[in-house]
Structures are given as C-alpha cells and as structure tokens.
A = this chain, B = another copy of it.
Amino acid sequence: MAKGVTPKSEDYARWYTDVITKAEMADYGPVKGTMVIRPYGYGVWESIKEAFDKRFKETGHVNAYFPLFIPKSFLSREADHIEGFAKECAVVTHSRLKSAPDGNGVVVDPDSKLEEEIIVRPTSETVIWSMYKKWINSYRDLPILINQWANVVRWEMRTRLFLRTSEFLWQEGHTAHATEQEAREESIQMLDIYQEVLEQILAIPVLTGLKSEAERFAGAVDTYCIEAMMGDKRALQAGTSHYLGQNFAKAFDVKFQTENNTEELVYATSWGVSTRLVGALIMVHGDDKGLRLPPKVAPVQIVIIPIIKNDNSLDAIEKFLEPFLTELGEIGIRFKLDDRQKISPGFKFNEWEMKGVPIRVEVGPRDMEGGTLFCARRDTGEKKSYEIESAATELGQLLDEIQTNMFEQALKFRSENTFTVDNYDEFKKQINSGGFIRCGWDGNPDSEAAIKKETKATIRCILLNEKTKDKKCIYSENPAKHEVIFARAY
C-alpha cells in the first residue's frame, strides 16, 4: 500500500488501475469480465446512490424491482432495441447441475435444458413494458414513475474496472405518461437531476446535450446525455435520459383509455447512471498520489492520525481529542481515528492520501501542548494548525471549501481543454493532443462517420443551447445544422 502508483503522465490506463487497486476500491472477480466492488469503493457508491435516490423520490418517483431474467423473445420485440442489445448477452440455457459421472465435481444436467433460452438483463425496458401492459388501463393509472437499483450484464471481453465490466450496478428509471409533452419534460427533468448530482455532489462539471442518431440509445426517439472530461482529456458519457416516444408501448401493445374515452398508446422515458460514475470520479479528481475524493462522497471525510511516542501517549491523545471527536460526530462529519498500533504515521499518511481522504489531522505531543491540531488538505496539499476548540466547526467549513475547490479545478481543466475550432485541419491536429472540440456539424451521419473513421472522435453531444448562426460544418463546410462537442471517448 505504501508504494506509489504509476504516474499519470507515464501511463494513464495503468495509473487508473493502480489507484483502484491500491486504494482498495475494486478487484477482478474470478469469472472473466466481472468486478468485485470492495468496501471502500462501495462506500463511495452508497453516497452517490443516496444523493440520486433522494432526488428521485423528491420528484415523485418510487423504487421497485423487476426480474433479472428476460425471455429471449422479448429482446426482439422492439426492432431498434434488438439491434443495439442483441449481440453480447449472458444466456441461461440450463437449470440444474449434477454430480460428474467420474465423481469429480459437477456437470450441467442435460435433462435440464430450458425450452426457451433466458437472457440476463442488459437493460430492463422489455420486461418492464411487459408488466406495464398488465398494469395500465386508464389515464388514472398514469403517470407511472418507477426506478430500480439493479445489476445488469453486457458481455465484455476487455475489462476495465468500473468503466467496462460484464456486470455492473446501476439505476434505471422507466416512466409511462399520457402525453408526449409530459414524457419529454420528464426526460429533461431527470437530465437536470443528473447534472445537479454530478456537479454538486461528485464535483464533476458536465455538458448536457442530445446524442446524434449514431450514438442514440437503441429504441429511443431522443437520447439526452451528460458528458464529462476525464483527466486524460477524453470524454466519458456519465448518464443518459431517453425520450422513448411510443416505441415500447407499440412493441408491447400498451394502450390506455383517455379521459375522453379514446384509446391511445402510452409515452415513455428511461434514464440511467451506473457504477461507471465511480470510474469518472477517480479519473477527474485523482493525482499521482492516488485518489482525491470530494467530501460529499468520501466514506471518510477526516482522518485523525495520532503521533504515538510511547505506550501512554495514545491514551493521552485520545483524551485530548475527545471533545473534538464528539463535536465532529454531532456536526455529522464522517471521521476515522486511525489508532492502529505498530504502523508508522508515515505509512498511514500515504495510505489515507492514496484513499483520497479530504482532510488529514495529525496530533502529537507538540499539538497537545499548544492545544492545536495540524491539518492537511488533500486537494491542495496545504497545511495549517487549528485551535482545537474551534477546529470541528472550521474543518466542517473547510470540507465545503474543498468540495467547491475540486469542482472549480475540474471546471478550469475542462475550460482549458475545450477548443472552438472552425477548420478540419486544425480539428485533426487538436484531436491528437486531446480535449473537447466545439464546432459546427451539418447533421449528416456521413460527415460524422467520416470524422470518426479518420480521428476516432465522436459527437459527444449536440449542445442544447447551440449557436449555429454563420457556422459551417467542420467536415463538409456546408451550413452547420448543429453546434456539437467532438472528442475521443471512453
């Protein structure tokens, strides 16, 4: 643990994996492509979950749980949907094991072969809309505003912890509405909530916008997204909110009786964020010393490390700290007194730095004499002594300051690496040194495909507040239909 990580500048991908491993955020599972989220990583996910769940409930959503297993035939009900998801799925074909004939271990019982194969959900639109078909009859049953926290599986051969694993955790909201307008408003509302949580809780600035047809969710009419810039200047899609129109209602024949006694197809949205956000958090805020966690998601916000000189000194330090720790608890600060014996303070410093704890407090004989606490900020490295009487309150304020500062740092980094470009040569040169490129696009999928082929950059989003006046398409030089952000992405 005390050993460092590969520097970011040397090998970003290795730095990323090193941080995750050394900060004990996650590990590889025994089946290829699977991930174990270790307690420290899961603690971060719990904070993120809570921030979203609170906002979902405040806007009238309720949680439910739909089955992991989907009949194979469901996937092909919605034509676009199958195109997007059919390919890489875990397929259950049998339901029983039996002892191996040679007495060595177990084998699959061939007699247990299923009549129809079952798919482990890659997303739940199909199974949910098959239920909505049963539950929706009249306008009185609408809207349905359901969210679920669940695991989903999309077979992956190349694993990258938190970013690309066969199984991951996420939330998926699935709503049903009587009108197009209400459904569209819902998809925008959820996009706003995603932006709020990313920026205020994860301290990650995001751009919001619409996906181009090529990047749209399979089965959606419109896909809205939040896009963030990682520490290597690549883009990461951090969440999506889809207006699905009547596509799934058509596929599953979900109609309702209106107030005027006519029959109409239901309008739908779906929206999701996943444990991928933990990966984003690491890449946006981490440095060569390891993680840096924004206080609002940090499992430990303040770590206190006693400088123990002899057997009696821990007792004395604990007594000295008592009123301070009590106050921290009362204010609701998550703190940890690292009183492990036989481990040096230096080792502990490195360990908690690696784990990204926002504030480290050191306390030894000299601090006790002076009635002070020596504190170090993880975000800036700044060190300062605080009077112990007022330290709890002041450190509480410092946590807020760190939260804001981390957002500002990330925003500054993104600004410095976002470029407005108006000719294709410059575009190609810029894309090679990384960053977001803001430019015009003629709306033609062919220009988009040509750019992707040549530069590996994709349209991350069509800006919602776009300015297309006098702009030309970066590729075709035809009048721009949209203002977009291009980048290489995860």
Contact = CB atoms under 8 A, between A and B. Distances in A.
Interface of A: 27, 29-31, 34-39, 42-43, 45-46, 62-76, 82, 86-99, 105-106, 108, 112, 117-120, 127, 130-131, 134-135, 140, 146, 150-151, 153, 155, 166-167, 169, 340
A80 to B, nearest CB: 14
A97 B92 contact: no
Given A30-B71, A87-B97, A65 B92 contact: no
Nearest to A85: B97
B106 A93 contact: no
B155 A96 contact: yes
B151 A68 contact: yes
B95 A30 contact: no
B95 A88 contact: yes
A67 B31 contact: yes
A108 B82 contact: no
The 9 residue pairs across chains A and B that have the minimum distance between CB atoms: A34-B67, A39-B62, A29-B67, A76-B105, A37-B65, A91-B94, A31-B69, A95-B155, A93-B93
A254 to B, nearest CB: 14
A65 B91 contact: no
Contact of A97 (B35, B75, B97): B75
A267 to B, nearest CB: 20
Given A30-B127, A62-B39, A92 B120 contact: yes
Contact of A64 (B36, B92, B140): B36
A427 to B, nearest CB: 36
Given A36-B64, A127-B29, A99 B86 contact: yes
A36 B88 contact: no
B119 A120 contact: no
Contacts of A167: 67-69
A197 B74 CA distance: 40
A125 to B, nearest CB: 13
A409 to B, nearest CB: 29
B91 A97 contact: yes
B36 A65 contact: yes
Nearest to A74: B30
A135 B36 CA distance: 12
Given A27-B131, A89-B96, A90-B94, 19 more contacts: A29-B131, A30-B74, A31-B69, A36-B66, A37-B65, A39-B146, A42-B64, A72-B97, A72-B106, A75-B97, A86-B99, A87-B96, A90-B92, A90-B95, A90-B118, A91-B112, A92-B92, A93-B108, A150-B151
A191 B367 CA distance: 44
Contact of A27 (B93, B134, B340): B134
A348 B150 CA distance: 33
A90 B76 CA distance: 22
10 contacts: A30-B70, A35-B67, A37-B65, A39-B63, A39-B146, A87-B96, A90-B94, A91-B112, A93-B108, A151-B151
Contacts of A86: 97-99, 106
A36 B131 contact: yes
Contacts of A106: 72, 75-76, 82, 86
B91 A31 contact: no
Contact of A169 (B35, B36, B65): B65
Contacts of A43: 62-63
A102 to B, nearest CB: 12
